[in-house]
Structure 1
Amino acid sequence: MKEVNKVEFEDLGISENGLNAVRRKGFEKPTEIQREIIPRFFEGEKDMVGQAQTGSGKTAAFALPILDLVDERSKDVQAIVITPTRELALQVKDEIESLRGGKKVHVLAVYGGQPIFPQIERLRKGVQIVVGTPGRVIDHLERRTLSLEKVRFFVLDEADRMLDMGFIDDIERILRHAGAERRVLMFSATMPPEVLRLARRYMRDYEVVRVHSKITPENVEHRCLKVNPEKRFEHLCRILDENNFYGIVFCQTKKETRELGRRLRARGYKADALNGDIPQHKRESILRNFRKGYTRVLVATDVAARGIDVKDLTHVVNYSIPQDPEAYIHRTGRTGREGKRGKAITFVAPWESRKLKIIERTAKVRFR
């Protein structure tokens, strides 16, 4: 049995396709929840309740085994992931897609606030994995545009948060639609009685896997800067000028990364942009220059920067406030590593104070 800190992804039972996807993303070592969940997933038949904080790597913990086990030749929905918010649904969908490697697995996010008919058309063509919010999933079930009869894997992500938001009846309703052979995985940051009650009611033989790792590095200083969006660029340049800056600037969209990268280079900064549209060979070149310090400022989207492990980063700047606390934790976890100190600076528009409070509460950070 290997020492915990020496366990590699190769030791967890993941296929070569999955391992290649992990390497491409730059993941170096499995997180604690990945070490605990992935082997159990492959070795046993039990349902699982995983207690893991936001930002602990739990999406990959269930996505990698599911991607290995779904049949890409079948058009049936074989796995469903229920999330409390559409932002998280999109994030989980993007993460699963980034881990599928060469496997032709179709992943669809279904959530309210967008037209339902394109989703219906996509489901009709065949989707192996659905990620969705409770309301929209129920809508599809009632329209009979989504069938869960062939679902083998049923994942409830952030179960405690869904219960807090009043989704308990919706979750039970969805679970009743799933076929008898499904395997249920529930992830929750906390373990209130309601979560365990749900497990007892809808899981067969299950085990609880608890992980108590600190979710945000203690040596990161968290600051927020309340600023109108049109003034952000000048504030960013001031931060770059006043510090020996070596870090990542996070944007919400691919377009924003391109524009900001271009503006910074025009000002003379050693900056580059990284987003999902960039081909693999170009991405590797950008990361190589960044790791060597030739590039000092990397402008990136969440998905592009997921798994980037570069030593000695001094700063993370949230040019756009993250949509979800999990994204904040992933972003700021890029700095303050291996005992080094780091700074995380978040630009906040005057109307975004509520988002900041949610991040502060969920990620357990205090902003200066």
Structure 2
Amino acid sequence: MSVQSSGPTFAELGVAVEITEALADVGITHTFAIQELTLPIALDGKDLIGQARTGMGKTLGFGVPLLDRVFDAADVAELDGTPRALVIVPTRELAVQVGEDLSIAAKQLAVRITTIYGGRPYEEQINALETGVDVVVGTPGRLIDLHQRGALQLDQVAVLVLDEADEMLDLGFLPDIEKLMKALTHKHQTMLFSATMPGPILTLARSFLDKPVHIRAEAVGSNQTHATTRQVVFQAHRMDKSAITARILQAAGRGKTIVFARTKRTAAEVADDLAARGFAVGAVHGDMGQPAREKSLHSFRSGLVDILVATDVAARGIDIDDVTHVINYQTPDEPMTYVHRIGRTGRAGHTGTAVTLVGYDELLKWQSINEELGLEQPNPPQWFSTSPELFDALAIPAGAGDTVGTPRKVAGKPLPGRRRTR
């Protein structure tokens, strides 16, 4: 959260000094496009639809006005320990990330924030709600469970946010979202943020938002991938992908890197392979328990490991600005999955590199993605781990080999023979 922009400052847009100072402490003073456009409307309490590509600053686009209004808006009731704001997100990882970002911005405010998601004991979340919470960030299923149990009160929510609405549609959460929105029968502000606006999301907006202002942070018809992301695509033999990946990870200037796989099994295998080659690596996939996933993500964010192997379910939840490289170890099934994957780099003013390894049996998938997104690379070249073109394209040192050191343990993975505890 320490990247600058050339837009107006948060202070110039009328944000409370307590918030602007907290953001300045972590190097954030100027707004990005989506923030500049949404803040004046959101601070005024109006409903809005915010549309921008992933990595363009949507979290602070809704988070700053949400905190400002909960803290000091005349039409929001005094804080009494029942939630005044609810942020609904599609994944556990994104819930954690949004909660952390809001906590940073609210450092100087007497506003209590909690995150609620599945995979954690009910008791600790119920205790937090009973102790008193002002802002709740959570995933749909657990939010509904706690509301139905009477632990989560929604009758005083003044600000509702739907973040990554299109992803919630893709994951089948739309019925849960509608249940939560129907529970808010009183007057409140609703902000819906999404990278794309498929028909069901627009229908949802028409049903539940009151004359929303639709804001796009880029021109209609603009490219769906970041101009700041360099895309390198080539065909790779399935048996050579591990060696290719090991060499890419030795490229000059490589920092934090996310390696994406389609399946949980492949993600686990790739993480194990890279760790055995001496790389500092963590993993996030569905076969890992929630504590292990959180430990792995924390290790990646803090720099204890600089490589994270992830499945697509985690693509929206990894919200880190300083990722330099993304590697598509397996070609994604859908064009928008490709967009979301490579959107993890080239974020918030940074430059990045996205490398896609197209297996010989994945060429038709790639050609569909290429045609849909207009990437003009229907027949990528065939490169191997020893190809000079690979080394030249990614600035890999001539001496880069299969390993970089002694074998390591994958971050967050239980040691062999140890029973995982909850």
For the aligned pair, the TM-score class normalised by the smaller chain equals 0.5 to 0.7
Identity across matched positions, percent: 30
Partners of 1:26 and 1:307 lie apart in 2 by: 13
Q: State which of 256, 268, 273 in structure 2 corresponds to 1:249.
A: 256
Q: Which has the larger radius of gyration?
A: 2
1:136 aligns with 2:137: no
Sort the Cα spacing of 1:317 and 1:200 in 2 relative to 1 into closer, same or farther, 3 A. Answer: closer
Which structure carries more helix by proportion? 1
Contact 1:217 / 1:333 at 8 angstroms: preserved in 2? no
In structure 2, the residue matched to 1:291 is none
Partners of 2:156 and 2:173 lie apart in 1 by: 23
Following superposition, the deviation at residue 198 of structure 1 comes to 1.7
1:329 aligns with 2:326: no
Following superposition, the deviation at residue 276 of structure 1 comes to 7.5
> TM-score, normalised on structure 1?
0.66
In structure 2, the residue matched to 1:199 is 205
Deviations 1:344-367 (A, max 9, x none): 4699xx9xx9xxx9xx89xx7989
Following superposition, the deviation at residue 102 of structure 1 comes to 1.8
1:87 aligns with 2:88: no
Partners of 2:306 and 2:205 lie apart in 1 by: 42
Partners of 2:109 and 2:341 lie apart in 1 by: 26
Contact 1:27 / 1:307 at 8 angstroms: preserved in 2? no
Sort the Cα spacing of 1:10 and 1:55 in 2 relative to 1 into closer, same or farther, 3 A. Answer: same
2:255 is paired with a residue of what secondary structure?
strand
Sort the Cα spacing of 1:336 and 1:68 in 2 relative to 1 into closer, same or farther, 3 A. Answer: closer
Following superposition, the deviation at residue 35 of structure 1 comes to 0.7
Contact 1:110 / 1:131 at 8 angstroms: preserved in 2? yes
Question: What number of residue pairs does the alignment pair up?
Answer: 307
Contact 2:345 / 2:353 at 8 angstroms: preserved in 1? no
1:221 aligns with 2:231: yes
In structure 2, the residue matched to 1:24 is 25
* Runs (5+) with no aligned partner, structure 2: 72-77, 260-270, 281-296, 309-314, 331-336, 381-422
In structure 2, the residue matched to 1:290 is none
In structure 1, the residue matched to 2:46 is 46
In structure 1, the residue matched to 2:65 is 65
Sort the Cα spacing of 1:80 and 1:95 in 2 relative to 1 into closer, same or farther, 3 A. Answer: same
Counterpart residue identity of residue 343, structure 2: I
Following superposition, the deviation at residue 99 of structure 1 comes to 2.0
Sort the Cα spacing of 1:246 and 1:164 in 2 relative to 1 into closer, same or farther, 3 A. Answer: closer
Partners of 2:101 and 2:38 lie apart in 1 by: 17
Following superposition, the deviation at residue 23 of structure 1 comes to 2.3
Sort the Cα spacing of 1:108 and 1:326 in 2 relative to 1 into closer, same or farther, 3 A. Answer: farther
Q: State which of 158, 178, 188 in structure 2 corresponds to 1:182.
A: 188
Counterpart residue identity of residue 36, structure 1: L
> TM-score, normalised on structure 2?
0.58
2:83 is paired with a residue of what secondary structure?
coil
1:104 is paired with a residue of what secondary structure?
coil
1:209 is paired with a residue of what secondary structure?
strand
CA RMSD of aligned residues (A): 4.5
Following superposition, the deviation at residue 146 of structure 1 comes to 0.2
Partners of 1:64 and 1:123 lie apart in 2 by: 22
Partners of 1:53 and 1:335 lie apart in 2 by: 13
